[in-house]
Amino acid sequence: MPTDPLARILDSMENAARAAGRPLPRLVAVGKTRNADEIAALAAAWAALRPGSTLAFGENYVQEAAPKVVALEGRGIEWHLIGHLQSNKAAQAAALFDWVQSVDRPKLVSALASARAPGRSPLNVLIQVNVDGEAGKHGCTPDKVPALAEAIAARPALKLRGLMAIPEPHPDPGVRRAAFVAMRALHEALQAAHPTADTLSMGMSADFELAIAEGATMVRIGTALFGPRPAA
């Protein structure tokens, strides 16, 4: 078993996908509070383990990501916004990121599309779904997905890529599994209407293997990769 965290996670992902008979999902490394040097080191480790492929890196906050994106320009990193996006940060997000995984309302669709610079490739967009109906959690309700998908698909500056969810971290794996199953069904319905919606982003450090078993095509891992976040 590999001792390096990145190699260990990739090995676990491969094993989970093989056991479930599913394709290997993409890894989005999550680096809340991690600095540019740490991300650069991870990119170098990624290049050694997965030569020719691109490291996907997720950030929670636009303002925290901005200096890292600038500092690491040219390193071949694909930048994902995975945290809640305020409307007044949408223009900056459209400029900085390759993916925004947290679109959950029509206002963001308009703001991101209007701000994406002409000549750039379309911004990849995931619809964030509050699959458990948790109070206070961001994400649209499942019934809002079709209309939001239509709004995204109608914007040439955006590319609808699928769904993202952060299910409740319930101690019972059966409850978590049910949320992942519900997301898979929602994604299958979305993809039937929008073939570009090829991505189902779900599963984090504590449950990515379960998410892979239930159809995740992308997992977002931070703690298992970097260890616990430093105390503020």
Instruction: Please count the structural domains in the chain.
Output: 1
- 232 inside domain: no
Q: Is residue 115 part of a domain?
A: yes
C-alpha angle 135-33-65 in degrees, rounded to nearest 5: 85
Asked if residue 231 belongs to a domain, the reply is no
Instruction: Note down the domain range covering 77.
Output: 5-226
CB atoms within 10 A of CB 144: 16
What gap in Å lies between CA 174 and CA 189, rounded to an integer?
Answer: 23
Query: How does DSSP classify residue 53?
Result: S
Does a structural domain hold residue 177?
A: yes
Q: Are 36 and 72 in contact (CB under 8 A)?
A: yes
Q: With CA atoms as reference, report the closest residue to 73 among 36, 105, 102, 46.
A: 36
Q: Per residue of the chain (232 residues), give pLDDT as tens.
A: 466 999 999 999 999 999 999 999 999 999 878 999 999 999 999 999 999 999 999 999 999 999 999 999 999 999 999 999 999 999 999 999 999 999 999 999 999 999 999 999 999 999 999 999 888 899 999 999 999 999 999 999 999 999 999 998 888 888 899 999 999 999 999 999 999 999 999 999 999 999 999 999 999 999 999 887 655 5
| pLDDT for 1 | 47
Dist CA 84 CA 221 (whole Å): 17
Q: What is the CATH number of the domain that holds 46?
A: 3.20.20.10
Cα 170 versus chain centre, distance: 20
d(CA 169, CA 54): 29
